Structure 1
Amino acid sequence: MAPGTVRAALVRIIPHLCAAAWVMARQGLNRAGRGLLAGIGSNCPVCEGAARAGLLCAACAQAALRQSAARRCPRCALRLGATQAGKHGGLCVDCALHPPAFAHTVTAFDYADPFNTLIARYKGARRHVVASALAQALEQAVRIEAAARVGSAIGPLPIDAVVPVPASRASLKQRGFNPAGELARGMSRRMALRLLRGVLRRRHEGAARQASLMRREREAAALDAYVCARRLDGLRIALVDDVMTTGSTADAAARALLAAGAASVTVWVAARTPRSL
Structure 2
Amino acid sequence: MKNRVLFILMVFIVFLNACHQKEPTDFAGLNKSKAWQLQFEDECTANWQQNWFKDGLISVVEQDENGMDLIAGPVNRDDAHHTVLWTKQSFKGDIKIEFEYTRTDSQIVNVNILYIQAQGIGKEGRGADITEWNAYRDTANMWKYYFYMDPLHVSYAAFPMVNDDPENDYIRIRKYPAETQEKFKDTEILPAYFNTGLFLPDVTYKITVIKTDAKLYFNVKGNGDEKLFSWDLSDGQSPKEGRIGLRHMYTRSARYKNFKVWTK
TM-score, normalisation: structure 1? 0.36
Report which of the two structures shows the higher radius of gyration computed on alpha carbons.
1
State the TM-score, normalizing by the size of structure 2. Answer: 0.37
Higher helix share: 1
Larger strand percent: 2
